[in-house]
Amino acid sequence: MDYKKFELFPVPVYQSKIEVSDEYINWCKNVEYERMKTGNGWISKNRKILDTTEIKSDIIDHINIYVRDWLRVHWNIEFYLTSSWLVKHEPGDWAQMHHHANSLVSGVYYLQTPEKSGSIKFHKFFNKNLFDESLRFDYIDDNFVNAESVSFEVNKGDVLLFPSTLSHSVDENFSNDTRYSLAFNAFVKGQFGKDEYKLTL
């Protein structure tokens, strides 16, 4: 039987590449880190780490592709980076499910990703789009509509962008080497709406 399929209001997750130079690798290995309060990874002490490197302009370019070319946000709204930090996951480290507050767009840039060092996993959580949790259905197979979570196998140089409200986690690093990534948040300024709904940030 013929039918049409409309996947309305999807969550936009963007993936692209930024080449990783030896300079970037040496940089991320030599910044000062502290153990996360959760005890499952290391985070750079500098929470605006992109201000110290030329990677920042590449990240902003990708944010603009995401919000302008794909999401079609008008140029009268400026997206700017509010925070950025390096994450070091040694063997056995991982990241619990979380989302990023005080931000609209978040992202991760992968600098070193040994095999089996941990995929990023996006969770449906509050973004329910199918059946209520009062019933737990069995599915023949998972797809982007019915899955409770979706894993991305990431590689060195990958850049992922996503709405900051999208819950995500990182699987345990089962490799014998350290995994390095750079996380960042972006917010907006400009004029929003008009008449009685007008807002300037």
Summarize pLDDT for 128-139 with one digit per residue, the tens.
667 777 777 888
Mean pLDDT of the chain: 94
Cβ partners under 8 Å of residue 7, min gap 6: 144, 145
State the pTM of this model. 0.94
Contact 188, 104 (CB under 8 A): yes
Cα 119 from chain centre? 12
Across the beta sheet with 95-98, the strand order is: 95-98, 167-170, 120-123, 149-152
Answer whether residue 160 shows pLDDT above 90.
yes
Backbone dihedral region for residue 72 (phi beyond 0: left; psi -120 to 50: alpha; all else: beta): left
pLDDT of residue 9: 86
pLDDT of residue 126: 61
Burial 74-100 (b: 16+ CB within 10 A, else e): eeeeebebbbbbbbbbeeebebeeebb
pLDDT of residue 146: 86
Contact 76, 191 (CB under 8 A): yes
What is the CATH number that goes with domain 14-129+139-200?
2.60.120.620
Contact 55, 86 (CB under 8 A): no
Would you list the domain boundaries of the chain?
14-129+139-200
Contact 183, 84 (CB under 8 A): yes
> Which tens digits make up the pLDDT trace of 40-79?
999 999 999 999 999 999 999 999 999 999 999 999 999 9
- Partnered with residue 44 across adjacent β-strands are 33
**Spatial CA neighbour of 66 closest among 192, 176, 164, 161:** 161
